[in-house]
C-alpha cells in the first residue's frame, strides 16, 4: 500500500460520507481488500492441501466472519465464546479450531462436546483430556519451538520464556501422557509470534515442527500459525508471502512423502487478512498549542485503539478533511484520562476542530481490543461491500454500559 496517496474512498464510497451517516468515531472495513489478501495467500500456498484459518480474535465481528466463510476461509478461535460467534457466522463446529490459553476443565469439555477441533497448549491440559476422553476424541497440540521471533517481545510467543505451547524439550513427557491415555493427536500447531518478516524463521520453525511430527502417527494436519507482517508505514518490511508459500509447500510436501500420508496444511493469519482493510475514523475535538508541542485531541483514545500504547505500534494518520499543503507537527492524543498518544510527532496538514483523522491498519486488533474505560462507549463498525457501506455493529450507548450493573 502507498501511504502517500490518501485513502478518501473505499469502493467509491467516501469515508466522509460514512462518518456523516454512521457518526464518529467509527471503524470501517473494506471487504474487497480482505478478499484480495485471502486470494494472495491462497495463490502463494497453491500446490498443497491447505486451509486458511482466520485468527478471529483479530476482528471478531460476525459479518466479517461470514465474509471469511463465503470466501473459503476457516476459523481459529481462542475462546469458547469466539467459537459461538463463528457458529453464528455459519461455521460448522468441526470446522472451528479452538486454541485456548489456560483452558479450564469446563471450557475444554464444552469445546469437545460441541465438536470443535481443540488445540491444547499444556501437558496438564493434555492429561485432563486423556482422563476425560482417552482415545475416543481427537485433539491437536500446540508446540513451543523455542524460537524468539516477532515484531516485539509482547507479540513473540514461541520462545523459551513464553507461556504459550508445550516446550519442544518436553516432548518425551508429552509422549508419555499420550501413550498412557492412548490419546489421538490429530494435529500439531505452532504460532511463533506476530509480525515475523524473515521467511528463514518460518522455515526454521517448520523444521522443528516437522521433526516432531514424526513422533505422532495419527496426524491429519499441521498448523503453521500466523504472524505474517504487512506494512504499517511507507517502506515497512513485510513478509514475502510468495517466497514463504513456495518454500513451505515444498518442505511440507516432502515431509508428507516421508510420513506416508497427505496431511492438510493450515495457516492462521490475523493481521495479514484484515489489518490493511480497516480505517478508524475519528473527529478532532481540540487543537491545543503548548510551549513544547501542539496536540490534536480526538473523540477517541486508547479505549478504542490500544495498539499504540500496548505495543508501541505505529498507525499512519491522515487528515481526510483537508487538501491544504501547509503542514505542522502534532501529537495526536486521545480523550482518555491516561497518556494516550495515538501518534507522536506527526506531520499533518494544518488541522482544525471538526476535521476527520483516519487511522490506517485498523482492521486487526482494533475494535476487538476496545474497552469501555472511562465509561466511554465503543464505536460503530461499518463494512463496505459491493460498493455499499452497511452498519455491522451499532455504536454503544449509556444503557449498554449499565446493562450488566446492579442498580
Ligand X SMILES: Cc1ncc(COP(=O)(O)O)c(C=O)c1O
Closest contact distance (angstroms) between CB of 158 and ligand X is 10
Q: Pick between residue 283 and residue 361 the one whose CB is nearest to ligand X.
A: 361
Of 67-75, 132-140, 223-231, 330-338, which segment contacts ligand X by CB under 6 A? 223-231
Q: Which of 111, 166, 169, 174 is closest to 142 using CA atoms?
A: 166
Q: Which of 120, 56, 118, 129 is closest to 87 using CA atoms?
A: 56
Please give the residues from 11 up to 40 whose contact with ligand X meets the rule CB under 6 A.
Answer: none
Of 24-32, 107-115, 269-277, 369-377, which segment contacts ligand X by CB under 6 A? 269-277
Of 123-131, 225-233, 338-346, 398-406, which segment contacts ligand X by CB under 6 A? 225-233
Residue 205 found at the interface with ligand X (CB under 6 A) = no
Residue 145 found at the interface with ligand X (CB under 6 A) = no
Closest contact distance (angstroms) between CB of 204 and ligand X is 17
Cα–Cα dist 157/121, whole Å: 12
Contact residue for ligand X among 69, 271, 346, 376 (CB under 6 A): 271
Handedness of CA 96, 101, 107, 112 (dihedral sign): positive
Closest contact distance (angstroms) between CB of 273 and ligand X is 8
Contact residue for ligand X among 191, 307, 315, 346 (CB under 6 A): 191
Between vectors from CA 143 to CA 137 and to CA 148, what angle results, nearest 5°? 160
Instruction: Select which of 337, 347, 375, 406 is catalytic.
Output: 337
Cell numbers linked to 172: 518425551
Q: Which of 36, 23, 37, 32 is closest to 270 using CA atoms?
A: 37
Contact residue for ligand X among 24, 37, 61, 99 (CB under 6 A): 99
Contact residue for ligand X among 76, 82, 355, 385 (CB under 6 A): 76
Q: How far is CA 353 from CA 23, 116, 122, in A?
A: 16, 49, 52
261 class by beta-carbon count within 10 Å (0-12 exposed, 13-18 middle, 19+ buried): exposed
Does the annotation mark 337 as catalytic?
yes
Closest contact distance (angstroms) between CB of 272 and ligand X is 6
Between vectors from CA 317 to CA 316 and to CA 323, what angle results, nearest 5°? 130
Contact residue for ligand X among 30, 82, 107, 268 (CB under 6 A): 268
Q: Which of 264, 241, 243, 269 is closest to 252 using CA atoms?
A: 264
Closest contact distance (angstroms) between CB of 35 and ligand X is 17
Catalytic positions:
337
Contact positions vs ligand X (CB under 6 A): 55, 58, 76, 99, 191, 194, 225-228, 268-272, 364
Amino acid at each position: 500500500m502507498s501511504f502517500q496517496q490518501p485513502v478518501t474512498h473505499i469502493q467509491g464510497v467516501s469515508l466522509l460520507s460514512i462518518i456523516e451517516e454512521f457518526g464518529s468515531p467509527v471503524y470501517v472495513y473494506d471487504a474487497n481488500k480482505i478478499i484480495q489478501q485471502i486470494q494472495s495467500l491462497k495463490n502463494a500456498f497453491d500446490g498443497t492441501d491447505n486451509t486458511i484459518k482466520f485468527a478471529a480474535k483479530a476482528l471478531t465481528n460476525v459479518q466479517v466472519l461470514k465474509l471469511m466463510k463465503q470466501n473459503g476461509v476457516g476459523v481459529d478461535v481462542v475462546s469458547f465464546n469466539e467459537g459461538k460467534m463463528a457458529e453464528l457466522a455459519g461455521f460448522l463446529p468441526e470446522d472451528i479450531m479452538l486454541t485456548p490459553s489456560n483452558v479450564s476443565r469446563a471450557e475444554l469439555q464444552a469445546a469437545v462436546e460441541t465438536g470443535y477441533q481443540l488445540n491444547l497448549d499444556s501437558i496438564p491440559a493434555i492429561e485432563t483430556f486423556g482422563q476425560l476422553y482417552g482415545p475416543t476424541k481427537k485433539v491437536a497440540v500446540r508446540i513451543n519451538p523455542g524460537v524468539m521471533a516477532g515484531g516485539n517481545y509482547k507479540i513473540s510467543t514461541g520462545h523459551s520464556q513464553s507461556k504459550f505451547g508445550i516446550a519442544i524439550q518436553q516432548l518425551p513427557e508429552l509422549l508419555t501422557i499420550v501413550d498412557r491415555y492412548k490419546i489421538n493427536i490429530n494435529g500439531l500447531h505452532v504460532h511463533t509470534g506476530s509480525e515475523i518478516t524473515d521467511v528463514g524463521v518460518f522455515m526454521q520453525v517448520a523444521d522443528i515442527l516437522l521433526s516432531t511430527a514424526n513422533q505422532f502417527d495419527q496426524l491429519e494436519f499441521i498448523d503453521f500459525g500466523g504472524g505474517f507482517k504487512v506494512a504499517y508505514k511507507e517502506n515497512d518490511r513485510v513478509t514475502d508471502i510468495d517466497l514463504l508459500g513456495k518454500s513451505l509447500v515444498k518442505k511440507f510436501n516432502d515431509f508428507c512423502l516421508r510420513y506416508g500420508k497427505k496431511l492438510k496444511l493450515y495457516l492462521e493469519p490475523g493481521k495479514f487478512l484484515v489489518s490493511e482493510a480497516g480505517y478508524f475514523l475519528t473527529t478532532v475535538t481540540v487543537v491545543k498549542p503548548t510551549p513544547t508541542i501542539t496536540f490534536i485531541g480526538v473523540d477517541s483514545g486508547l479505549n478504542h485503539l490500544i495498539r499504540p500504547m500496548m505495543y508501541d505500534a505505529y498507525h499512519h494518520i491522515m487528515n481526510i478533511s483537508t487538501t491544504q499543503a501547509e503542514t505542522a507537527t502534532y501529537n495526536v492524543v486521545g480523550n482518555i484520562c491516561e497518556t494516550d498518544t495515538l501518534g507522536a510527532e506527526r506531520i499533518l496538514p494544518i488541522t482544525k476542530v471538526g476535521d476527520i483523522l483516519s487511522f490506517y491498519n485498523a482492521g486487526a486488533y482494533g475494535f476487538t481490543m476496545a474497552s469501555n474505560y472511562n465509561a466511554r462507549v465503543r464505536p460503530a463498525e461499518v463494512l463496505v461491500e459491493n460498493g455499499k457501506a452497511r452498519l455491522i455493529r451499532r455504536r454503544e450507548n449509556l444503557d449498554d454500559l449499565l446493562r450488566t450493573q446492579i442498580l
